[in-house]
C-alpha cells in the first residue's frame, strides 16, 4: 500500500461514519416500512411483473409452443437463457444501487464503500481536482452496468445468427436437380418452411427480449446517474471538512 493510499484510508476512517453491512432481513423490513426509499427497486419489480404477465398471456394463447416446437436448433432457448442472465444481473445491480443511494442520503457509509473512499479523496482538493475525481467516478460506475447493455445487444446478435441459420436450413433442403420431380417438391417445401420458421422466430425472440432487457438497462442507468449525483454531492458537502 502506498503512502497516499494509506493516508486516504486513514482519512476515511476518521471522517466517515462506519457501519456493518445490514442483514438482509433488516433491509427487507426497511423496504416494507419505507418503500419510498426503494423507488428504483419498486419500478424494476413493477415493470418486470407487467412484462412477465404479458409473457404468460402469450403462453396461454398458445403462441410460444409453436416457437419451441419449430426451433430444432436450440437458438431460441439460448436467447432466452442469455436474457435470464441479463435480468438476474440487472436485478442484482438495481438492488445494490438502491441501497448505495440510500446510504449516501443517510450518510451511513461502509468504510470500504466507493462513496466513503470518494469523500476521503476529495477532502482538501481544489475544484479542478474534485471535477477530475468526479469524472473518474462516473466512468467507473457507468462501466459496471455496461455488462447489461452488452447482454441486451447479444440478444439481437443471436437473433440475426438464427436468421442466417434459418436461411441455410431453407436453402440446404433445395435440390435444383430435383425441382422437376413432383415427389421431391413436398419435402423441399417442408424444409423451406422449417428454415424460414427458424429464421423468423429467432429474430422475433431476440428482438422482443432485447427490448425487455434494454428497458431494465435504461432504468439501471437512471439509478446509476442518481447514485453518482448523490456521491458527488456528498463529496462537495464534506470537501472542506
The rounded Cα 13 to chain-centroid distance in angstroms is 33
Highest mean pLDDT among 2-6, 152-156, 164-168, 235-239: 152-156
pLDDT digits over 58-75, tens only? 999 999 999 988 888 999
Percent of the chain, pLDDT > 90? 52
pLDDT beyond 60 at 31: no
Arithmetic mean of pLDDT, 147-164: 96
pLDDT beyond 70 at 30: no
pLDDT, position 52: 97
pLDDT, position 225: 94
* Alpha carbons 139 and 236: distance in angstroms, whole number: 18
**What is the pLDDT confidence band of residue 42, given thresholds at 50, 70 and 90?**
very high
Highest mean pLDDT among 34-43, 59-68, 103-112, 175-184: 59-68
Residue 133: CB partners within 8 Å, gap ≥ 6? 118, 121, 122, 125, 235
pLDDT beyond 50 at 16: no
Highest mean pLDDT among 6-20, 104-118, 197-211, 224-238: 197-211
pLDDT, position 36: 67
**What is the pLDDT confidence band of residue 28, given thresholds at 50, 70 and 90?**
low
The domain segmentation of the chain, as residue ranges, is 3-237
**What is the pLDDT confidence band of residue 15, given thresholds at 50, 70 and 90?**
very low
Cα Dmax for the chain: 89
pLDDT beyond 60 at 94: yes
* Alpha carbons 80 and 172: distance in angstroms, whole number: 26
- Three-state SS at 126: coil
Amino acid at each position: 500500500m502506498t503512502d497516499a493510499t494509506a493516508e486516504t484510508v486513514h482519512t476515511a476512517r476518521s471522517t466517515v461514519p462506519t457501519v456493518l453491512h445490514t442483514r438482509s432481513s433488516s433491509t427487507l423490513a426497511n423496504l416494507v416500512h419505507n418503500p419510498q426509499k426503494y423507488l428504483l427497486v419498486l419500478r424494476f419489480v413493477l415493470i418486470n411483473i407487467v412484462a412477465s404477465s404479458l409473457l404468460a398471456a402469450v403462453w396461454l394463447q398458445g403462441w410460444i409452443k409453436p416457437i419451441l416446437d419449430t426451433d430444432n436448433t436450440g437458438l431460441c432457448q439460448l436467447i432466452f437463457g442469455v436474457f435470464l442472465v441479463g435480468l438476474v444481473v440487472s436485478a442484482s445491480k438495481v438492488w445494490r444501487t438502491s441501497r448505495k443511494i440510500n446510504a449516501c442520503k443517510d450518510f451511513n457509509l461502509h468504510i470500504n464503500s466507493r462513496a466513503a473512499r470518494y469523500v476521503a479523496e476529495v477532502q482538501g482538493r481544489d475544484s479542478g481536482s474534485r471535477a477530475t475525481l468526479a469524472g473518474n467516478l462516473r466512468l467507473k460506475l457507468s462501466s459496471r452496468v455496461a455488462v447489461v447493455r452488452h447482454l441486451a445487444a447479444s440478444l439481437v446478435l443471436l437473433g440475426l445468427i438464427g436468421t442466417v441459420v434459418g436461411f441455410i436450413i431453407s436453402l440446404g433442403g433445395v435440390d435444383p436437380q430435383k425441382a422437376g420431380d413432383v415427389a421431391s417438391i413436398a419435402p423441399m417445401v417442408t424444409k423451406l418452411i422449417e428454415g424460414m420458421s427458424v429464421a423468423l422466430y429467432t429474430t422475433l425472440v431476440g428482438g422482443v427480449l432485447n427490448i425487455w432487457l434494454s428497458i431494465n438497462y435504461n432504468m439501471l442507468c437512471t439509478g446509476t446517474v442518481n447514485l453518482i449525483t448523490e456521491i458527488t454531492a456528498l463529496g462537495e458537502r464534506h470537501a472542506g471538512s
